[in-house]
Structures are given as C-alpha cells and as structure tokens.
Amino acid sequence: MKYINEIDIKGKTVLCRFDFNVPLDEDLHITDDRRIKAALPTINYALDEDARVIVIAHLGRPEGKVIDSLSLKPVARRLSRLLGKEVVLAKDCIGDEVKTLIQGMEPHCILLLENLRFHIEEAENSDDFARELAGYADVYVDDAFGNAHRTHASNVGITKFAKKCCAGFLMKRELNYFSTTLKNPLRPFVAIIGGSKVSDKLEALANLIRRVDKMIIGGGMAFTFLKAMGHEVGTSLVEENLVNMARRGIKIAKERGVKLYLPVDCVIAEEADPKAVTKIVPVQEIDPNWMGLDIGPASIALFREALSDAKTIMWNGPMGVFEIDAFSMGTFSMVHTVAQSHALTIVGGGDTDVAVHRAGQSDYITYISTGGGASLELLEGKKLPAVKALNEWEKKMD
C-alpha cells in the first residue's frame, strides 16, 4: 500500500479517516487529545498540498443512534485550536447537506463530518454507506490506526469504491514500530506482558514466545502461570481452563531457550480495595483467602535485571491493579525501568499507555501506540483488516 506522500494529492479533495475516539469528562471536555494531535502530520501535509480536507471519525459507541453527548463538536473545537484554523463541523456524515458543504469547499478548507457511528451502516460495513463516503473525494486516506482492527464501512468497505486509496503518517509510524520491529528486532528482545487475563492475550503470548529472547509476565495473568507451576495463589485471578495452556507455554519457552520471568513475590490483599490491608509475600506464601494485586519488590528487581541488557522492549499490560495506589508500585517501577533503558521501547495503547502518562514518562518511551486493540492484534501476528483492504486496493490497481 502507498502512503499519502507517495501519491499526488495536489489541489485535490481528500477524505481522511482518523481515530478521534477521545475520552471526555462529564462536561464533554476532552481529557486526553493525543489521538487528535497524532492526526496533525497527515492533515498538515494535505493542507501544504493545497488539498481540501474532509475528515471522518467516530466517537464512542452510539450504535446507530444520534446521541448528543457523542457529537464530534469538542473534537472540531480542539482540532481547530491545534491547527490554528477553522474546522467546520457538518451536522451529519452523509446526505445532501454534506454534499452541498463539500461542493462549497475551497483549497485548505477542513470539513469534519459528524460521528460516523450515528449510522449503524458504519459498523455493518454497508456498501451503500461506504460508496457515499467514497464519493466525496478524489483520494481516500486512512490514518485511523486505533480503528484498523475493525471491519467497518469507513475503513474497509470504502476501499471498494474510492478512486484512490492510501494510508496516512500515523498508520506508517504504528505499522513501522509494531510490524517491522516484530519481524526484525534488535536483540536481546524482551516482551513484557501484563493485564488482567491470559485469555485476552493468549494469541499475543503465543506469537511473541516465538520471537523474543526474554518474556516477563506480570499482572493478573501471572497467577494462571504461577498456578501451572504448582503454587497456591489464594483468590488471585486464575483462569482454570488455561492452566494447562500456561504449563505448555512454560515448556515451549524452555524448549526455545526463551527466558521466562514470573513474579517471585507479590502484594496481596483480601480485596482490590484502596482501604484494604496489604502484605508483601513470596509467591509460595499467598494466604488462601487473599489475592495477588501487584508484583512485589523482589519481582521489580528481578524484572529490572532482566531488562538491563535489552535492545528492544515491547510492553502491553500493567503489572498490577495500578488504578489503586496500594497496588500501583509494580507498574510505575516498570514504567521508570523501561523509560530509563537504552533499548527501543514500544508500549501498546490502553492501560499501559495510561500508566506511562500518569508516571510522566511518555517522553522517554520510543513509541506509544494510539490503538490498544489494533496494536494487540499486531502483537498477535494478525493482519489488520484496514491495512489488508488498502493492500488489496493497491494490488487491484497494479
């Protein structure tokens, strides 16, 4: 597939799909605008090429209904402020009014169309909906990495009808950091996988174990592995149906010479509550009615040591229930270790991203993904539907 700078968009009308699914507070103020900022290089490039820029995006999950609180109004305001120019927001993303607005666009104009997901046809990948969107422009540009694992009309269906298709600069960065690094990492290559459940990351674990030199497992999912090793883990999060799978994973790691690091101690409590009494114990001594909610200091030291010679680090998932202060030390220590390392450091989106920002260390990480779900699918070794669609369009043109 081609990127926006590899095709001629001079003076053309471009339709850019971005992921502007930003968090809002109860007063509908944007609390984190990184996804909007990440779109600026593509928009600025198009403006520099004297293009007319139509922007399409979604916000939340309105499931085909018009919900005022999920309007892209706050996005239009923020985008306008970041670009220092007017961004017109259309009342809808399809229909005659939109077409009239587009006809009136001058070069360098930006028109943001209202939330795509106000129409159920978007998530249904409807041909009619995709055809209408594609008809607005000379060139379709997909830069919505955070949505690239979905098969929707605005990112997959649209490539059937668009005159020209390409990807934007954010897509390029994301694919470069995830796909390219996974295929050809500087070694030692260490993966850190955490978060709540093994089941959510089973495919990523299976893919990574074939590629890494070391794997660190923390968070809730570590307890299924510790159980597989014969430890009593009290009431910690365990997926009983995956204990055997975890045992196999440990065996595969051994056979492949991959060093697998699991917590050796943990912070336990009777419940995941800010007021709960906590203890730090070796993993061999978890009380029957207590649960492991963070990695302990010995694990922090062990993981730090495992990371000390890394040249590439990929991290997805917190080491504990970091949302609660008492169980956040493991995750925040890991943030600092990763940030201070001399490796190429790549962090998946979602909770890990939140932890890195909360620790104020985002400037010291090589790359933080804007898409949790999409980056996880890349870790799983899957091809993203939106990227596949762009590649197929390119193949068709050959």
Under the rule (CB under 6 A), what is the footprint of ligand AMP?
195-197, 200, 219-220, 237, 292-293, 317-318, 320-321, 323, 350-351
Nearer to ligand AMP, 196 or 362 (CB): 196
- Encode the chain in three state secondary structure: CCEHHHCCCCCCEEEEECCCCCCECCCCCECCCHHHHCCHHHHHHHHHCCCEEEEECCCCCCCCCCCHHHCCHHHHHHHHHHHCCCCEECCCCCCHHHHHHHHCCCCCCEEECCCHHHCHHHHCCCHHHHHHHHCCCCEEEECCHHHCCCCCCCCCHHHHCCCCEEECHHHHHHHHHHHHHHHCCCCCEEEEECCCCHHHHHHHHHHHHCCCCEEEECCCCHHHHHHHCCCCCCCCCCCHHHHHHHHHHHHHHHHHCCEEECCCEEEEECCCCCCCCEEEEEHHHCCCCCEEEEECHHHHHHHHHHHCCCCEEEEECCCCCCCCHHHCHHHHHHHHHHHHCCCEEEECCCHHHHHHHHCCCHHHCCEECCCHHHHHHHHCCCCCHHHHHHHHHHHHHC
Nearer to ligand AMP, 146 or 195 (CB): 195
Minimum CB distance to ligand AMP, residue 129 (Å): 31
Minimum CB distance to ligand AMP, residue 275 (Å): 17
Which one is catalytic: 168, 220, 296, 350? 350
Which one is catalytic: 2, 135, 164, 373? 373
Nearer to ligand AMP, 7 or 202 (CB): 202
Is 197 in the active site?
yes
Which one is catalytic: 35, 150, 201, 227? 35
Minimum CB distance to ligand AMP, residue 320 (Å): 5
Minimum CB distance to ligand AMP, residue 253 (Å): 20
Nearer to ligand AMP, 263 or 385 (CB): 263
When CB distances to ligand AMP are compared, the closest residue is: 195
Minimum CB distance to ligand AMP, residue 293 (Å): 5
Is 373 in the active site?
yes
Which one is catalytic: 160, 197, 358, 382? 197
Nearer to ligand AMP, 168 or 218 (CB): 218
Active site residues: 35, 197, 350, 373
